[in-house]
Amino acid sequence: MSADPYSLPEALVTAQRWDAARAALGEALAASPDDPRLLGLLVRTLRAQGSRQEALDASQRMLAISPQDPYALRLATLVLLDVGWVDEAIGLAARAVEVDPGNAANHLALSRAWAGSARPEALAHQLAAAREAVALEPNSVDAQLQIGVALAAEGDIDAARVSYLEALRRDPSNTAALNNLAVLEMQGGSPAEAARHLASALAANPQGASARHNLDALAVLIARRTGRWMLLAPFPALVAAAAGLDLIARILAVVAVLLLPAASMRWWRALTAGQRRALRGLPHRVRARSWVWPVAAGIVGSWAVVRAGLMPTRVAAPEVVGYLLVTAYLLLLNSLISTPRRVLRARAAGRSSDVWRIMGER
């Protein structure tokens, strides 16, 4: 081993060469098993490799050696969040704040720990800790992200958007901020804007799991909006047909058909060529039941277009009333199952690599 036991493991961890780092750390720790600096590097390596139990064991050893070290407390906070021990993580992050209240990273760790809690007071604590981190470090992109996540969870979408845009002002290629803006736009019904933000996020990080997941969620959202259009657009044509206005019914049916591609083209143009290729495998990644409602709406709407456009003389008032009832039922069903949390399942990237980095490094 080199006279400096830290240089090689630290270089390998920085380069994210986790297998080599683990081997080097094993050799270094064999000579110095209670070195907290080496144990910290080991915890980071084990977390990156997904070895949660081993990371938990190593973090406990590190804490036993350095129980009042804020870095050890922050790192253990991350490990506890990995294994779902949220209350314990909050306790460790709070201890880090008590030991070193002037360090923004400690407040950011506390904010992130509260973000994983379901307790009624969690959002208020998450937001307060993130704002304290910003007060201590005004240029912190990660703290702005945490503020945005908390505000979005509270339902203050406009304020959350401001926080994400502030993060992007400081770091224009921040994938977490771009992804979270896309989530807000999806929930707000602006798929074209969501597609634009996702395109930027994937351009910055093509392997970003959250952005790729949300691209699929966006496609499901578009499919639902398309189904809604196909239900509503033929209705004026059916009414005209029932009233005996055959020519107008045919014209309105043609308009309903032609406007559908125009309505979808804006968001499609916002996608990159790579995103469009990625969507080809969408049916294999999204559960089949996600397509039941759009397909049902498309079948019912197509039937109405055919009746009004090709057979207007056969359309009677009872048929229009029946179509209206079916449409109302399908729209009600869609509203019950298409809330952002239950259907889109869009992910807010609150756990950006930068957030974890500032919390987990000295």
Give, as one character, the DSSP assignment of residue 348. Answer: P
Q: CB count, 10 Å around CB of 189? A: 10
The pLDDT, as a whole number, for residue 309 is: 86
d(CA 19, CA 130): 34
Which pLDDT score, from 0 to 100, does residue 222 have? 77
- How is residue 308 written in tokens? 């009004």
- pLDDT bin (cut points 50, 70, 90) of residue 183 is confident
More reliable by pLDDT, 348 or 60: 60
Q: What angle, 0 to 180 degrees and rounded to 10, lies between the N-to-C axes of helices 104-115 and 353-360?
A: 130
Residue 290 lies in a domain: yes
Q: 13-56, pLDDT tens digit by residue?
A: 999 899 999 999 999 999 899 899 999 999 999 999 999 999 99
Q: Does residue 161 belong to any structural domain of this protein?
A: no
Would you say residue 322 lies in a domain? yes
Residue of 292 and 147 predicted with greater confidence: 147
Given a cut of 70, whether residue 354 has pLDDT beyond it is no
Q: Which of 19-23, 167-171, 307-311, 344-348 has the lowest mean pLDDT?
A: 344-348
CA angle 135, 139, 142 (to 5 degrees): 90
**The pLDDT value given to residue 64:** 93
* 209 C-beta neighbours (distance < 10 Å), count: 11
pLDDT of residue 156: 86
User: Residue 297's pLDDT band (boundaries 50, 70, 90)?
Assistant: confident
pLDDT at 92: 94
8 Å CB contact between 129 and 110? yes
Query: Alpha-carbon distance 336 to 48, whole Å?
Result: 39
Question: Quick one: pLDDT at residue 257?
Answer: 81
Whether pLDDT at 302 is above 60: yes
Which tens digit of pLDDT belongs to each residue from 262-290? 666 666 766 667 667 767 666 667 777 77
Q: Where are the alpha helices (DSSP H) in 233-361?
A: 235-242, 246-269, 273-278, 282-285, 292-310, 317-337, 353-360
**Buried b or exposed e, range 300-331, using 16+ CB within 10 angstroms:** bbeebbebbbeebeebeeeebeebeebbeebb
- The whole-number pLDDT of residue 362 equals 52
pLDDT digits (tens, 9 = 90+) for 186-205: 877 777 778 778 877 777 77
Res 45: pLDDT: 94
Q: Which domain holds residue 335?
A: 216-344
Whether residue 285 is contained in a domain is answered as: yes
Calculate the alpha carbon distances from 10 to 7, 45, 71, 352 in Å.
5, 10, 16, 21
Q: Would you state the pLDDT for residue 343?
A: 35
Q: Provide the mean pLDDT of the chain.
A: 83
Q: Residue 350: inside a domain, yes or no? A: no
Q: Total structural domains in the chain?
A: 1
Percent of all residues in the chain with a pLDDT value above 90, rounded to a whole number: 31
pLDDT recorded at residue 358: 38
Q: Which whole number is the average pLDDT over 135-158? A: 87
Identify the pLDDT of residue 293.
Answer: 81
Q: Is residue 251 part of a domain?
A: yes
Task: Flag whether 22 is in a domain.
Answer: no
Using CA atoms, how far residue 152 sits from 13, 239, 344, 349, in Å, is: 34, 42, 15, 12
The half-sphere exposure of 117 on its side-chain side, counting CA atoms within 13 A, is: 20
The b/e string for 263-286 (b: 16+ C-beta within 10 A; e otherwise) is ebeebeebbeeebeebbeeeeeeb
8 A C-beta contact, residue 186 and residue 222: no
Q: What is the CA radius of gyration of the chain?
A: 27
Please report the pLDDT score of residue 359 as a whole number.
46
**Domain presence at residue 261:** yes
pLDDT given at position 264: 66
Structure confidence at residue 70 (pLDDT): 93
